[in-house]
């Protein structure tokens, strides 16, 4: 076996953004959320991801704005560290090592220098279930890496759910719910009160606590419960005279509760995917924001109360303006419990296609890590209720050109017949989306096991083959033109029904040129000619059923590969109709790269999955990696690259044309990356980080590129780039001064002398002086830019052109004109007044 | 114990009428309750919520409001009269016409010197409370609409009156209107409460509970409680809690609590909601520890506030009082006749024969009086009911009783006396009046007579005192030692002449009339104490009877069970299983004896009105299922239920 050091398995996009409650910054411009092993900073207005704060080595379990500095944020992780970030610049400021896995983080502005983290209980055999809230005194030290050892337990036996622990009014108390018990701990009195509920009430409602929220100004704790009730607790500083009122609208568990910053409203959400806004103290008046798409898992409110944001179970964050309007949706890769369809690549957009929202197919751009759009397949209202059987998309296939999409949806109800629909979608050039062409209800009598299009790109007719558990496989063809109604376009109809000895067909596969169709009937592989529908040959490798079937590509198209349940990988030569070679391995998934001869086989061994990449014609694997991930891999896809990778190393050449993505059993999307690719990515990410807090919108990127090009174009135009002397340090200093955040800068007095020095102009060539001035002007403009982005960028090209023109003229006539001298003076004066203003401030 | 043939009677369609008004006297812990038919009931909350007294209603006397003034009870109704009740003799003492049209509300000041009523014609009339009667004092300024609700400020100077669309505040001394708080749309202010800090709380037909500042007349808070009406309000004694009853059947609690832990500033916050009624909650009372509510669904519900009582005690259990605490059914044991007592008529049924499929009973007789004030018992020996002209003295009787040989009839009368009437086939003749020793002027509540050594005895129970008279010599025989709790059922054993008394606190006493002392068994029972499960039952025993075959058996029943006490068996220990009938059945014969104890309890029957043993050793059980009663109620306010 060959081990390759430079190929790594990485998360690349598609990680959960709904794992923990997102945080909106004080100015409501950014949204921070934990996403896998990093913290993502999104712009609330443009939905773009601005920064990816990387540094944790395990799952990030909580994000929090630092209460004493609203420009910094804490994040905690299961790797036992708390990190402090400057999220506007994406800089890691400090790392506090706690030493125990952390499950959530809490802080209050009234407890300065202390953060509260939830860790598993130590020295307890049942530590898997019991957690404690620990106060961590953050040591004051200038080091990057600080070990925080001053820990003190506050509450023990609490829930690990971060929504179940919350600070009360003014940080005076902390409320924590676990199971059927609510515990309120008063810091001043150091006294805890516990309130328990009965397990069930008479009407069968479950009283288990699910979440807690505290009113910011009043002593009122709102708790959500399993049966959909919300209780508002008051007078909880008495053992006995506590009281609560009950609100009931949700029919299932309340998953999240949040008070608005002024405490005028209470927000609640649950599986109904309706955001409910209760007026505090007038609970009969409620506002609803329905149809949010999926069950609400978290609710966050911006500190100024203008924005609400809800996380949803379909990996989505919705930003809502004052409970009326959905203003932005940040959609991650939608991941359900499982993927019914295979992972597919849309040949047109090169996006990853798989099950998305219930009843939808999602088109997810892997390059941009963004959901492009959802295609509603089922076209039925989804009812948000657990345990309800609804139509699901179970199979989907694209044809080679991406003109046709076939989908299968099914609904299996207990005691009722299976409902099946085969839908064929045509790509509409005008609307740039798929339009339903044909719906075939009940295409088969039983579940469809496999479906594929003929891959031939040159043939006039497209063919679809579907295999079913009813013992038949059917070929569907686009009828040229129906005679009855001419105004309707061509539609699909059944062309051929095939069977083989009453066996159940499992897999089907077309050869690359579309001349052969292989259908596996348990242990027998039948090869058919789609042109004449005659059975050409049968191949058999007893004793177990065929699991995967795959034709070779390009130079290896004469080979047909199959895997069986009895841990066998076979390769048949179709010219000789004989077994070329076979090897014993438990292949869970076999797939062919459409752009090369390569084939990838995922083998499940001892709870781990190994990957082998090979060519059917060569006995040695091109690449193999053991223990790619734990568990079985059942879904994977080769995604073609946008631009080819030039890797000369033999072991990583198979990744040149396409990239291999696969889903682990925990629904994590992983991929393989090479060193060169990583380097390129790092470089590009550095490029992206040059500018400051401007949201990285596509519009900005477009203009930014344009500007860069112009700047590039400037130099040859001026023709002096070669002879340009190193610039005085002034402009750099200004840039540094203005672009680094205030809290990391040294004191002003220290900076001042350096700054003033930099502004003194050494008497050299006058032309250089003017250039210097220009440079300064430019740097000045650059920060204007940050304030009025659009305006300045609109005016820039003209200015640049003017400057460029001026310079050109200058080089032609070395002596300065009077006007130029005057201008230079003006610039200097302007500069100084600006500096004075800065120093005054 | 053996097996019985059971006549299961379910055709006694007794229907209590809706609860209309309520008043709680916190000094005596008595709750006065008036029903839609005008019947008044007094419950003693100190004595296990026992229904002490009942004053039957009268035709055309719909009572709208009740008011305690000290120990005196006043009521006012839509017939425009104010009535004071004589709670000793259980009858209205006098009525006073207010001359203001129908009266909607009545109230008194805290000092107990003045009574005010709100009338249809828009006047608030003040009455001075004198020792024996009330006297009209003056009218307050007349308003345009009817006065629906009234509340007196504790200082006695201000009165808040709820009317159509507005609340008016009067000065109680001058009678001048001070200000009014107009409502926006057409609403009826069903209830107002004036608190000592000059806060007025109103409940109206728009479903709102509103909190007003009574000094300035400004609205402080509005709590929308229901889509329909808020019908009644009640404030606790310390003014820290308020309850509002709605026509949805819910009772909503508000509490006066500070919004933050340390601050003193308090406000009214809606807290709990109780849903114990299916129909309108028309009457509410806020006792110190509980919320008492009643309404259209005829049940009286006592819901303890869990923050005021100890958890998991008898006090913290919720009580629903659906059936009266007295026996409305009589059984003629020899003849197999059942007498059902309705508020305005009687029904006599004969117990029929069963062919195994169902009961066949024949309705024999219906006897209609205008209002049955008293109970008629079929005489034990006669086969049919004797009706003849009764002497004049019997015009007000609350209890009747035949002697065991059917020659004498006893009737309770005013001033704790008992009238004895001799009966023969044709006529009845006044014989004697049994008078108590002391000059107590209370009406006898229970009595029973028995046949013992040729001397006929009758017993009289007045509240907690039980007195026994010899009826041949017509003299006082003896008095049973006084026990603190009310007796709920009394009977004399026909052969051993032991008197069995069951009290409201579930205690059982057996008193020998010969030795004039408690029997050995009773002493043993007191010494050992009753089983805790027995004491925890929340309905009183309403009837005691005896087995003719086995003199050691006492049969008694409450609403949810009947019990046969076998005096020959050992008493249950505190740790033994009280309800052991099922476990006994599974045990072998020898084991059974070891495990059996004196209390044999049968819970097969629910909502039992009467259990009686007939001569032929068959059991008659009269049930009145609550569901049947519920189905006879009018449809409640329509409510949107989730998922309908």
Put simply, the answer to whether B260 touches A219 (Cβ < 8 Å) is yes
A285 touches chain B (CB under 8 A): yes
Q: What is the pLDDT of residue B378?
A: 43
What pLDDT is attached to residue A795? 42
**Average of per-residue pLDDT across B609-614:** 85
CB-defined contacts A:B, below 8 A: 49
pLDDT grade, residue A576 (50/70/90)?
confident
Cβ pair B521, B477 in contact under 8 A:
no
Q: Do A219 and B269 touch (CB under 8 A)?
A: no
The mean pLDDT of A339-355, rounded to a whole number, is 85
Hunting for tokens 């005054």 — which residue is that? A840
Question: Is A285 in Cβ contact with B269 (below 8 Å)?
Answer: no
Residue of A nearest to B256 (CA): A235
Contacts of B629 (CB under 8 A, 6+ apart): B15, B16, B298, B322
- Looking at the fold, whether A299 and A182 belong to one and the same domain comes out as yes
- Inter-chain CB proximity B261 and A237 less than 8 Å: yes
B interface test, pick of A251, A284, A285 with most B CB neighbours within 10 Å: A284
Identify whether residues B336 and B317 lie together within a single domain: no
Same domain, A326 and A198: yes
Residues of chain B with Cβ-Cβ distance to A245 below 8 Å are 269-273
For residue A596, pLDDT beyond 90: no
Give tens-digit pLDDT for B536-579.
Answer: 888 888 888 888 788 888 888 888 888 888 888 888 877 777 77
Q: Which of B265, B297, B321 is the last residue of a domain?
A: B321
Looking at the structure, do residues B285 and B379 belong to the same domain, yes or no?
Answer: no
The mean of the pLDDT values for chain A is 79
Q: Where a domain ends, among A119, A147, A175?
A: A147
- The per-residue pLDDT for B293 is 93
Q: Domain boundary residue among A296, A331, A366? A: A331
Total structural domains within chain B: 2
pLDDT at residue number A324: 75
Percent of chain B with pLDDT over 70: 79
B301 and B347 belong to one structural domain: no
User: For B271, which residue in chain A has the nearest alpha carbon?
Assistant: A245
The per-residue pLDDT for B546 is 84
DSSP state of A747: -
pLDDT of residue B201: 92
Residue B10 is assigned to a structural domain of this protein: no
Considering only the beta carbons, identify the residue of B221, B257, B273 that sits closest to A234.
B257
Say if A12 falls within a structural domain. Answer: no
CA distance B250 to A712: 78
Residue range(s) defining the domain that contains residue B449: 329-632
User: Is the domain of B392 the same as that of B487?
Assistant: yes
Region A416-422: mean pLDDT is 86
Which residues, 6+ apart, have CB-to-CB distance to A56 below 8 Å?
A: A37, A38, A39, A75, A77, A79, A81, A83
Q: What are phi and psi of B552, to 5 degrees?
A: -80, -5
Considering only CB atoms, which residues of chain B are within 8 Å of chain A? 221-225, 255, 257-261, 269-273, 307, 642-643
A63-102 confidence digits (pLDDT tens): 999 988 889 999 999 888 999 999 888 888 889 998 888 9
pLDDT of the residue at A478? 82
What does chain A come to in residues?
A: 841
Q: Which runs of consecutive H residues, i.e. helices, occur in B554-622?
A: 581-586, 589-595
Is A218 touching B (CB cutoff 8 A)? yes
pLDDT for A789 equals 44
Check residue B366 and give its pLDDT: 44
Nearest residue on chain A to B222, alpha-carbon basis = A282
- Over residues A601-623, mean pLDDT: 83
Q: Is B98 domain-assigned?
A: no
Reported as a pLDDT band with limits 50, 70 and 90, residue A822 is confident
Residue A690, pLDDT above cutoff 60: no
Q: CB under 8 Å to A678, separation ≥6 — which residues?
A: A8
3-state secondary structure of B583: helix
Instruction: Name every chain B residue with its beta carbon within 8 A of the beta carbon of A244.
Output: 271-272
- Measured in degrees and rounded to the nearest 5, phi and psi for residue A806 equal -60, -40
How distant is the Cα of A184 from the closest Cα of chain B, in angstroms? 12
A166 shares a domain with A119: no
Band of residue B475 on the pLDDT scale cut at 50, 70, 90: low
- B500-532 pLDDT, tens digit per residue, is 888 888 888 888 877 888 888 889 888 888 888
In a domain, B286, yes or no: yes
**Are residue A177 and residue A318 in the same domain, yes or no?**
yes
> Is the same domain home to B355 and B316?
no
Residues A204 and A301 both lie in one domain: yes
Predicted complex ipTM: 0.77
Is there a domain that residue B11 lies in? Answer: no
The pTM assigned to this predicted structure is: 0.73
What domain range is A253 assigned to? 159-331
User: Is residue B202, in this structure, part of any structural domain at all?
Assistant: no
CA dihedral B474, B480, B482, B484 (to 10 degrees): -110
Query: Cβ–Cβ of B260/A244 closer than 8 Å?
Result: no
A718 versus A133: the higher-pLDDT residue is A133
- What span, in angstroms and rounded, lies between the C-alpha atoms of B197 and B213? 9
Going by C-alpha positions, the residue among B602, B610, B607 that lies closest to residue B4 is B602
Strand bridging mode A131-137 / A145-147: unpaired
A630's tokens: 């734990």
Whether residue A281 and residue B269 make contact (CB cut-off 8 A), yes or no, is: yes
Judging by beta carbons within 10 Å of its beta carbon (0-12, 13-18, 19+), is residue B547 exposed, middle or buried? middle
**Residue B425, C-beta contacts closer than 8 angstroms, at least 6 positions apart:** B386
Answer yes or no: are the C-beta atoms of A764 and A727 closer than 8 Å.
Answer: no
- The closest CB to that of B307, out of A169, A219, A243, belongs to A243
Position B21 confidence tier, pLDDT thresholds 50, 70, 90: very high
B380 and B431 within one domain: yes
- Give the C-alpha separation, A343 to A361, whole Å: 11
**Is residue A234 in a domain?**
yes
Instruction: Tell me which of A28-37, A226-235, B174-183, B513-522 is least confident.
Output: B174-183
Give the chain A residue whose CA is nearest to the CA of B252: A245
Distance CA A272, CA A285 (A): 19
Question: Which residue, of A275, A303, A331, is where some domain finishes?
Answer: A331
pLDDT reported for residue B474 = 62
Residue B387: CATH number of its domain: 2.130.10
CB proximity A198 to B under 8 Å = no
Same domain, B310 and B428: no
In this predicted model, what pLDDT tens digit does every residue of A108-166 receive, in sequence order?
888 888 899 998 876 555 545 788 888 998 888 778 888 887 888 888 888 888 888 99
Asked whether residue B353 is domain-assigned, the answer is yes
pLDDT tens sequence across A260-289? 998 899 999 998 889 999 998 888 888 899
Please check whether residue B449 lies inside any domain of the structure. Answer: yes
Helix axis angle for A748-759 and A730-739, nearest 10°, is: 150
CATH of the domain at B308: 2.40.10
Provide, as residue numbers in chain A, all residues whose Cβ is less than 8 Å from the Cβ of B222.
Answer: 282
What's residue A221's pLDDT? 92
Q: How confident is the model at residue B439 (pLDDT cuts 50, 70, 90)?
A: very low
At B175 the pLDDT is 63
**A347-378 as b/e, with b when 16 or more CB fall inside 10 Å?**
beebbbbbbbbbbbbbbbbbeebbbbbbbebb
In a domain, residue A604? The reply is no
For residues B259 and B335, membership in a common domain is answered with no
Q: Which residue has the higher pLDDT, A169 or A386?
A: A169
A457 in B contact zone (CB under 8 Å) = no
Partner-chain residue, chosen from B224, B260, B271, that has the shortest CB–CB distance to A243: B271
Q: What is the mean pLDDT of residues A712-730?
A: 44
A139: domain CATH number is: 2.130.10.10
Residues A131 and A220 in one domain: no
Residues B485 and B389 placed together within one structural domain of the fold? yes
One domain, residues A138 and A224:
no
Is B196 exposed, middle or buried (CB count within 10 Å of its CB: 0-12, 13-18, 19+)?
Answer: exposed
Tell me, yes or no, whether B468 and B606 share the same domain. Answer: yes
Residues B182 and B168 sit within 8 Å (Cβ to Cβ):
no
Decide: B414 and B441 in contact? Cβ < 8 Å.
yes
Question: Do A193 and A242 reside in the same domain of the chain?
Answer: yes
Q: Are residues A169 and A41 in the same domain?
A: no
| A705, part of any domain | no
- Chain B residue closest to A248 (CA)? B642
Cross-chain residue pair A244–B272, CB shorter than 8 Å: yes
Note whether B262 and B295 are same-domain residues.
Answer: yes
Domain-embedded: residue B593 = yes
B315 lies in the same domain as B426: no
In the predicted model, what is the mean pLDDT of residues A775-793?
46
Closest CA relative to residue A735, chosen from A693, A778, A705, A795: A778
**pLDDT band at B372; cut points 50, 70, 90:** very low
Rounded to the nearest angstrom, the minimum Cα separation between A380 and chain B is: 21
Same domain, A40 and A108: yes
Residues A195 and A325 in one domain: yes
**C-beta atoms of B260 and A169 within 8 A:** yes
Is A301 found in the same domain as A165? yes
Work out how many domains chain A is built from and give that number. 2
């Amino acid at each position: 076996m060959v081990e390759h050091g430079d190929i790594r398995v990485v998360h690349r996009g598609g990680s959960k953004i709904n794992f923990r409650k997102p945080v909106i910054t004080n100015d409501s411009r950014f949204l921070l959320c934990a996403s896998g092993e990093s913290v993502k900073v999104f712009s609330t207005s443009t939905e773009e991801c601005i920064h990816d704060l990387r540094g944790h080595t395990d799952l990030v379990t909580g994000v929090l704005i630092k209460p004493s500095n609203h420009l910094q944020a804490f994040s905690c992780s299961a790797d036992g560290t708390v990190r402090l970030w400057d999220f506007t610049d994406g800089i890691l400021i400090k790392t506090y090592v706690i030493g125990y896995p952390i499950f959530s983080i809490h802080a209050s502005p009234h407890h300065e220098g202390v953060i509260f983290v939830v860790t598993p209980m130590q020295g307890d055999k049942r530590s898997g279930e019991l957690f404690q809230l620990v106060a961590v005194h953050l040591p004051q030290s200038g080091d990057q890496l600080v070990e925080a050892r001053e820990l003190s337990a506050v509450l023990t036996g609490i829930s690990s759910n971060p929504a179940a622990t919350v600070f009360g009014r003014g940080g005076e108390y902390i409320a924590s719910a676990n199971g059927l018990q609510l515990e309120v701990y008063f810091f001043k009195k150091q006294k805890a009160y516990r309130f328990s509920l009965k397990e069930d009430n008479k009407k069968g409602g479950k009283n288990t606590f699910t979440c807690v929220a505290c009113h910011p100004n009043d002593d009122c704790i709102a708790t959500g419960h399993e049966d959909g009730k919300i209780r508002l607790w008051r007078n909880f500083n008495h053992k006995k005279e506590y009281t609560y009122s009950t609100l009931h609208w949700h029919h299932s568990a309340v998953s999240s509760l949040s008070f608005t910053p002024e405490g005028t409203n209470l927000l609640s959400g649950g599986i109904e995917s309706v955001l409910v806004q209760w007026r505090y103290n007038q609970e009969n008046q409620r506002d609803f924001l329905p149809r949010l798409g999926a069950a609400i898992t978290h609710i966050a409110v911006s500190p100024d109360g203008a924005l609400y944001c809800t996380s949803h179970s379909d990996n989505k964050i919705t930003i809502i303006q004052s409970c009326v309007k959905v203003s932005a949706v940040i959609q991650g890769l939608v991941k359900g419990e499982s993927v019914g369809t295979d992972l597919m690549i849309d040949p047109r957009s090169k996006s990853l296609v798989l099950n998305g929202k219930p009843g939808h197919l999602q088109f997810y751009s892997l390059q941009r890590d963004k959901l492009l759009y959802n295609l509603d397949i089922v076209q039925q209202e989804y009812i948000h209720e657990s345990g309800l059987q609804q139509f699901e998309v179970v199979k989907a296939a694209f044809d080679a050109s991406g003109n046709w999409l076939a989908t299968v949806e099914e609904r299996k109800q207990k005691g009722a017949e299976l409902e099946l629909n085969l839908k064929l979608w045509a790509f509409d050039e005008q609307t740039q989306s798929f339009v339903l062409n044909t719906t075939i209800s009940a295409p088969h009598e039983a579940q469809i096991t496999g479906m594929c299009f003929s891959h031939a790109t040159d043939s006039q007719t497209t063919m679809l083959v579907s295999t079913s558990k009813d013992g038949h496989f059917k070929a569907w063809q686009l009828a040229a033109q129906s005679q009855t109604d001419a105004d309707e376009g061509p539609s699909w109809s059944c062309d051929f029904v095939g069977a083989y000895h009453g066996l159940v067909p499992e897999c089907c596969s077309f050869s690359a040129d579309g001349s052969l169709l292989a259908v596996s009937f348990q242990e027998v592989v039948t090869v058919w000619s789609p042109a004449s529908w005659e059975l050409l040959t049968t191949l058999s490798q007893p004793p177990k059923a065929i699991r995967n079937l795959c034709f070779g590509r390009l130079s290896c198209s004469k080979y047909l590969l199959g895997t069986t349940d009895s841990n066998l990988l076979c390769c048949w030569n179709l010219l000789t109709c004989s077994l070329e070679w076979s090897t014993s391995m438990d292949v869970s998934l076999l797939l062919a790269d459409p752009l090369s001869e390569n084939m990838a086989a995922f083998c499940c061994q001892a709870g781990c999955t190994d990957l082998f990449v090979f060519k059917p014609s060569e006995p040695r694997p091109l690449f193999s990696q053991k223990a790619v991930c734990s568990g079985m891999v059942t879904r994977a896809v080769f995604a073609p690259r946008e631009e080819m990778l030039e890797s000369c190393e033999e072991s990583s050449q198979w990744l040149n044309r396409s990239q291999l993505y696969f889903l682990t059993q925990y629904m994590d999307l992983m991929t393989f990356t090479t060193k060169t690719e990583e380097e390129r990515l790092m470089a590009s990410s550095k490029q992206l980080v040059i500018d400051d807090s401007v949201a990285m919108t596509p519009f900005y990127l477009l203009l930014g590129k344009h500007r860069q090009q112009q700047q590039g174009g400037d130099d040859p135009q001026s023709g002096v780039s070669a002879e340009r002397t190193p610039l005085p340090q002034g402009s750099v200093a200004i840039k540094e001064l203005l672009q680094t955040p205030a809290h990391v800068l040294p004191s002003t007095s220290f900076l001042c002398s350096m700054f003033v020095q930099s502004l003194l102009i050494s008497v050299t060539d006058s032309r250089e002086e003017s250039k210097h001035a220009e440079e300064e002007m430019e740097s000045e403009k650059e920060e204007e830019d940050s304030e009025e982005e659009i305006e300045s960028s609109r005016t820039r090209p003209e200015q640049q052109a003017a400057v460029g023109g001026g310079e050109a003229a200058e080089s032609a006539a070395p002596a300065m004109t009077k006007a130029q001298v005057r201008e230079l003076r003006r610039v200097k004066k302007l500069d100084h007044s600006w500096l004075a203003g800065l120093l005054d401030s | 114990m053996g097996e019985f043939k059971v006549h299961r009677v379910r055709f006694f369609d007794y229907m209590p009428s809706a609860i209309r008004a309520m008043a709680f006297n916190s000094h005596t812990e008595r709750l006065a309750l008036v029903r839609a038919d005008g019947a008044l009931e007094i419950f003693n909350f100190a004595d296990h919520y026992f229904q002490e007294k009942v004053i039957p209603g009268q035709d055309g006397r719909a009572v709208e409001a009740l008011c305690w003034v000290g120990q005196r009870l006043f009521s006012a109704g839509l017939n425009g009269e104010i009535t004071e009740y004589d709670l000793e003799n259980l009858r209205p003492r006098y009525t006073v016409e207010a001359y203001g049209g129908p009266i909607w509300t009545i109230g008194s000041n805290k000092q107990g010197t003045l009574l005010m009523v709100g009338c249809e014609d828009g006047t608030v009339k003040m009455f001075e409370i004198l020792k024996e009667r009330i006297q009209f004092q003056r009218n307050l300024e007349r308003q345009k609409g009817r006065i629906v609700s009234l509340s007196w400020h504790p200082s006695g100077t201000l009165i808040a009156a709820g009317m159509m669309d507005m609340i008016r505040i009067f000065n109680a001394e001058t009678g001048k209107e001070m200000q009014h708080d107009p409502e926006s749309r057409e609403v009826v202010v069903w209830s107002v409460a004036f608190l000592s800090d000059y806060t007025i709380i109103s409940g109206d037909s728009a479903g709102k509970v509103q909190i007003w500042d009574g000094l300035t007349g400004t609205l402080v808070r509005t709590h929308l409680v229901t889509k329909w009406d808020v019908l009644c309000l009640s404030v606790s004694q310390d003014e820290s809690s308020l309850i509002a009853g709605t026509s949805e059947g819910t009772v909503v609690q508000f509490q006066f609590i500070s919004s933050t832990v340390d601050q003193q500033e308090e406000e009214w916050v809606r807290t709990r909601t109780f849903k114990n009624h299916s129909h309108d909650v028309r009457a509410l009372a806020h006792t110190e520890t509980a919320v008492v509510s009643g309404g259209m669904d005829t049940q009286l519900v006592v819901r303890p506030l869990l923050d005021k009582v100890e958890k998991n005690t008898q006090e913290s259990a919720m009580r629903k009082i659906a059936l009266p605490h007295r026996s409305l059914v009589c059984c003629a044991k020899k003849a197999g006749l059942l007498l059902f007592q309705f508020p305005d008529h009687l029904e006599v049924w004969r117990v029929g024969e069963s062919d195994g499929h169902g009961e066949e009973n024949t309705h024999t007789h219906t006897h209609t009086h205008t209002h049955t004030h008293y109970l008629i018992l079929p005489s034990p020996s006669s086969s049919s009911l004797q009706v003849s002209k009764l002497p004049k003295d019997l015009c007000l009787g609350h209890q009747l009783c035949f002697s065991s040989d059917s020659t004498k009839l006893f009737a309770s009368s005013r001033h704790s006396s008992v009238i004895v009437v001799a009966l023969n086939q044709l006529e009845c003749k006044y014989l004697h009046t049994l008078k108590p020793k002391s000059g107590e002027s209370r009406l006898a509540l229970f009595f029973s007579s028995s046949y013992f050594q040729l001397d006929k005895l009758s017993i009289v129970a007045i509240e907690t005192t039980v007195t026994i008279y010899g009826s041949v010599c017509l003299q006082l025989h003896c008095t049973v030692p006084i026990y603190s709790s009310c007796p709920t059922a009394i009977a004399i054993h026909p052969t051993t002449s032991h008197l069995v008394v069951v009290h409201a606190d579930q205690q059982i006493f057996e008193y020998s009339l010969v030795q004039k002392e408690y029997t050995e068994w009773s002493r043993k029972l007191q010494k050992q104490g009753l089983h805790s499960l027995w004491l925890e039952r929340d309905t009183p025993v309403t009837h005691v009877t005896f087995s003719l075959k086995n003199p050691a058996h006492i049969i008694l029943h409450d609403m949810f069970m009947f019990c046969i006490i076998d005096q020959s068996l050992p008493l249950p220990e505190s740790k033994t299983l009280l309800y052991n009938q099922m476990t006994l059945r599974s045990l072998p014969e020898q084991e059974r004896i070891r495990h059996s104890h004196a209390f044999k309890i049968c819970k097969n029957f629910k909502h039992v009105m009467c259990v009686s043993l007939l001569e032929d050793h068959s059991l008659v059980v009269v049930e009145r299922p609550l569901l049947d009663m519920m189905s006879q109620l009018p449809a409640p306010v329509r409510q949107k239920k989730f998922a309908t």
